[in-house]
């Protein structure tokens, strides 16, 4: 039931123009035939004939129909040539685009590859038929598991739920942060999160909006696809169609709430004030004592209260009305990595190792240097003398690592707008905007709003953990203006100062609604500790305990086979448990 997907190095995006060859004009050196299926050189993407897919799906027989969504019907099929089981999506004809446009879009889709995305296998553009072929994901959707469970199935336990949330966050983070140009998911919801046999989540339906209804079908587009799904769509999106990555974060928050509560995003069978999950949850967010009441009853309270509090806090941050106040999905992902590893008592013993040797990380480190956009280095380029290398290898060989070190991931700054949009949209007058065109001002802190104050502490600390030396120095000054809490805690530890302690207790009281708290403790530029406050609101003042998270970051550059300079980052995170 456990799934610890690791990152795959994203592929460099090629200009889709180079692949806009019409099927009939295919040049022999670009394609290789295998029966009727063709594989595009340089990709794993295949082109299929209509006949081949008709055979695979028994002529699109009803018994093979998996369901029908906004883009068309989906059939289960078996490819005759390989025996591979696939899902074949037959796009509705009203949304048809020209062959070249279609091919450009699917080729760009074919570049997306991540363990938490449904694998796109290939496509068919035959006459007026447009079909997309995906790996078949056997476990059904999250919607099925949460809201239409089979009677012979055990209800999903807490850890599985959090691992699904973590995996989905990784998939979304990949689309937002790891591919260039970024992809806005647009329609994240429980029915679009498919689960394999081991409950590993795979996001489906990503990047399809360009293949949906065309310009002539604008109204249809607005009503059925662009506006997303009611209950999941961010308020700014439903109101005015303003679509950003933060809209995806909102939808993610709704899914996380569904996982926590077992309630549907929209449930018209419930009383009026409970039909919309977010509206129902909002007043509870302001009253943490009620958090345990939110939990899905089928879990029979088999979860740690602390983990629950943290998960609810994250969800509350994601579904904030104000888009700018929502966290980046990368922040959410890191937070969930800890919660998803929690043991029964809520104390994480380990976090998964994540590998970063790709261009995205280089971009993150040198955000303004476009020359750094280069392919990922070959795996065995340089002897890695540090013990991080063995950690990395083991992460590749095993899905689950119980280790004390873990790789931390990068965070984009709010001003990384150069990567923040779906470039496929960039040359269109599409309805969404760049997520961050300029460094956004921090929204004013509303101390009465626990979600907001949580967010601010949280984001600052994570940025500090992972920034490079160069960035850290600039962050230090920023931090010094905003370190009321950290300096308070630091002084307290260093000097055991009684008045300060009293002040802390008062502060604790003031912040009794804060459940996920990260506090800076910077030692050197690349050796920092961050403390997770484990206060579970048990009321026992003497049992305050903290997880110490120590981060070490190392960077270097190496040359690839072409002599191009590649930047690498190695980072380790150590967690230990300290008594306050
Ligand atoms: N790769 C896949 N493997 C297994 N089942 C799939 C796959 N892709 C889609 N399905 C199933 O096919 C059905 C239709 O899926 P589709 O994504 O087209 O629509 P939807 O998610 O139900 O609705 P919407 O289009 O509004 O997102 C769903 O039951 C879905 O779970």
C-alpha 403 – ligand 1 centre gap (Å): 37
Strands 46-47 and 120-126: parallel
Nearest to 291 by CA among 279, 281, 276: 281
* Best residue for ligand 1 mutational test, from 57, 62, 70, 74 (most atoms within 8 Å of Cβ): 74
Neighbours of 345 (CB within 10 A): 11
Q: Whose Cα sits closest to atom 8 in ligand 1?
A: 87
- Whose CA is closest to atom 1 on ligand 1? 136
**Residue with CA closest to ligand 1 atom 23:** 69
- Cβ–Cβ under 8 Å, residues 228 and 237: yes
Could you report the per-residue pLDDT of 230-252, keeping only the tens digit for each?
A: 899 999 988 887 889 999 999 99
What lines the ligand 1 site, CB under 6 Å? 66-71, 74, 87, 89, 118, 134-137, 141, 187, 191-192, 194, 204-205
Q: Round to whole Å and give the CA distance between 456 and 346.
A: 23
pLDDT at 441 over 60: no
Distance 168 CA to ligand 1 centre (A): 16
Res. 220: pLDDT tops 50: no
Average pLDDT over residues 496-519: 44
Tell me how far the alpha carbon of residue 323 lies from the centroid of ligand 1, in angstroms: 28
Question: Can you spell out the DSSP letters for 237-248?
Answer: HHHH----HHHH
Q: Name the residue at shortest CA distance from atom 27 of ligand 1.
A: 69
Q: Which atom of ligand 1 is nearest to the CA of 138?
A: 4
pLDDT digits (tens, 9 = 90+) for 368-416: 222 222 233 333 333 333 332 333 333 323 333 322 233 333 343 333 3
Instruction: Ligand 1, residue 70: give the atom nearest the CA.
Output: 25
Please state the length of the chain: 580
The answer to whether 491 touches 497, Cβ cutoff 8 Å, is yes
> Burial of 100 by CB count in 10 Å (0-12 exposed, 13-18 middle, 19+ buried)?
middle
Asked whether residue 435 carries a pLDDT value surpassing 80, the answer given is no
How confident is the model at residue 183, as a pLDDT?
93
Please identify, by atom number, the ligand 1 atom nearest to the C-alpha of residue 66. 12
Q: 8-22, 170-184, 544-558: which range is least confident on average?
A: 8-22
Predicted pLDDT at 211: 62
Answer yes or no: is 385 a known binding residue: no
> Which residues are catalytically annotated?
187
What's the rounded mean pLDDT across residues 285-308? 92
Distance CA 569, CA 580 (A): 32
Closest ligand 1 atom to the C-alpha of 71?
A: 25
Peptide bond into 181 cis (omega under 30): yes
Reading the block at residue 263, the tokens are 């309630």
Residue 19: predicted pLDDT? 33
Give yes or no for residue 148 having a pLDDT over 60.
yes
Among protein residues, the one whose CA lies closest to atom 19 of ligand 1: 69
Share of the chain above pLDDT 70, in %: 47
Range with the poorest average pLDDT among 202-216, 307-321, 419-433: 419-433
In angstroms, the CA 554 to CA 199 distance is: 34
The CA 75 to ligand 1 mean position distance, Å, reads 9
pLDDT at residue number 193: 98
Is it the case that residue 501 has pLDDT exceeding 60?
Answer: no
62-to-77, 85, 430, 511 alpha-carbon distances in Å: 12, 17, 36, 57
Residue with tokens 């002040």, as numbered in its chain: 503
Probe ligand 1: pick from 57, 60, 64, 69, max atoms within 8 Å of CB? 69
| pLDDT tens sequence across 109-147 | 899 999 999 999 999 998 888 999 999 999 999 999 999
- Cα(74) to ligand 1 centroid in Å equals 6
Parallel, antiparallel or unpaired: strands 565-579 and 405-406? antiparallel
3-state DSSP assignment of residue 124: strand
Taking Cα atoms as reference points, which of 263, 361, 317, 303 lies closest to residue 450? 317
What is the arithmetic mean of pLDDT over 490-496? 40
Which residue shows structure tokens 């059904």? 140
Distance 341 CA to ligand 1 centre (A): 29
Mean pLDDT within 505-528: 37
pLDDT of residue 161: 97
pLDDT on residue 329: 95
Q: Does pLDDT of 422 surpass 80?
A: no
Reported ipTM: the value is 0.98
Q: Which atom of ligand 1 is nearest to the CA of 229?
A: 26
Find the distance separating the first CA and the last CA of the chain, reported in whole Å: 35
Q: What is the mean pLDDT of the chain?
A: 65
Q: Which atom of ligand 1 is nearest to the CA of 134?
A: 1
Cα-to-centroid distance, 449 and ligand 1 (Å): 37
For the ranges 62-71, 242-251, 449-458, the lowest mean pLDDT is seen at: 449-458
Q: Of the residues 60, 66, 232, which should be mutated to test ligand 1's pocket, given the most ligand atoms within 8 Å of the CB?
A: 66
User: Ligand 1: which residue has its CA nearest to atom 22?
Assistant: 69
Q: What band does 418 get if pLDDT is binned at 50, 70 and 90?
A: very low
Give residue-wise pLDDT tens across range 307-348: 899 899 999 999 999 999 999 999 999 889 888 875 555 545
Which segment, 94-103, 330-339, 518-527, is predicted with the most confidence on average?
330-339
Closest ligand 1 atom to 72 CA: 18
| pLDDT confidence of residue 395 | 31
Specify the higher pLDDT residue, 218 or 129: 129
Higher pLDDT, 483 or 284: 284
Residue 192 CA, ligand 1 centroid: distance in Å: 7
């Amino acid at each position: 039931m456990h799934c610890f997907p690791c990152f795959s190095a994203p592929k460099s995006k090629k200009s889709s123009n180079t692949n806009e060859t019409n099927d009939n004009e295919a040049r022999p050196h670009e394609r290789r035939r295998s029966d009727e299926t063709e594989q595009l050189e340089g990709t794993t993407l295949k082109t299929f004939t209509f006949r081949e897919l008709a055979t695979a799906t028994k002529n699109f027989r009803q018994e093979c129909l998996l369901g029908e969504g906004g883009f068309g019907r989906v059939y289960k099929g078996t490819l005759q040539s390989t025996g591979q089981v696939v899902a074949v999506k037959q796009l509705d004809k009203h949304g048809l685009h020209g062959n070249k446009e279609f091919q450009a879009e699917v080729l760009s889709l074919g570049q997306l590859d991540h363990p938490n995305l449904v694998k796109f296998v290939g496509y068919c553009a035959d006459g007026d038929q447009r079909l997309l072929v995906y790996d078949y994901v056997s476990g059904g959707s999250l919607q099925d598991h949460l809201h239409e469970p089979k009677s012979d199935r055990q209800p999903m336990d807490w850890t599985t739920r959090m691992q699904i949330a973590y995996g989905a966050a990784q998939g979304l983070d990949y689309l937002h942060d790891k591919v260039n140009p970024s992809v806005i998911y647009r329609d994240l919801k429980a029915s679009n999160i498919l689960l394999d046999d081991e409950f590993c989540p795979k996001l489906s339906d990503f990047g399809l909006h360009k293949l949906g209804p065309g310009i002539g079908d604008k109204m249809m587009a607005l009503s059925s696809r662009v506006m997303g799904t009611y209950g999941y769509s961010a308020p700014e999106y439903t109101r005015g169609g303003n679509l950003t990555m933060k809209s995806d974060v909102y939808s993610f928050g709704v899914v996380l709430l569904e996982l926590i509560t077992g309630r549907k995003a929209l449930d018209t069978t419930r009383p009026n004030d409970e039909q919309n999950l977010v509206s129902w949850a909002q007043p509870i967010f302001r009253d943490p004592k009620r958090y345990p009441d939110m939990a899905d009853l089928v879990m029979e309270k088999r979860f740690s209260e602390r983990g629950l509090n943290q998960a609810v806090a994250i969800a509350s941050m994601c579904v904030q009305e104000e888009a700018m106040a929502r966290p980046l999905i990368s922040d959410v992902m890191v937070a969930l990595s800890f919660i998803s590893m929690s043991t029964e008592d809520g104390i994480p013993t380990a976090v998964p190792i994540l590998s970063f040797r790709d261009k995205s990380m280089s971009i993150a480190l040198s955000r303004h240097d476009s020359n750094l956009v280069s392919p990922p280095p070959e795996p065995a380029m340089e002897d890695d003398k540090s013990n991080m290398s063995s950690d990395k290898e083991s992460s590749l060989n095993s899905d689950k690592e119980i280790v004390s070190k873990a790789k931390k991931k990068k965070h984009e700054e709010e001003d990384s707008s150069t990567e923040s949009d779906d470039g496929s949209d960039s040359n269109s007058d599409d309805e969404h905007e760049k997520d961050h065109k300029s460094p956004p001002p921090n929204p004013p802190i509303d101390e009465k709003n626990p979600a907001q104050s949580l967010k601010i502490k949280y984001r600052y600390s994570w940025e500090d953990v992972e920034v490079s030396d160069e960035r850290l120095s600039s962050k230090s000054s920023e931090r010094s203006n905003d370190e009321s809490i950290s300096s308070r805690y630091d002084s307290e530890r260093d000097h055991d100062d009684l008045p300060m302690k009293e002040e802390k207790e008062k502060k604790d009281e003031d912040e009794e609604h804060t459940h996920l708290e990260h506090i800076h403790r910077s030692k050197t530029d690349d050796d920092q500790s961050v403390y997770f406050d484990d206060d579970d609101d048990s009321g026992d003042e003497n049992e305050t305990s903290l997880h110490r998270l120590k981060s070490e970051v190392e960077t270097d550059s190496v040359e690839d086979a072409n002599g191009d300079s590649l930047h690498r980052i190695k980072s380790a995170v150590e967690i230990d448990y300290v008594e306050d």
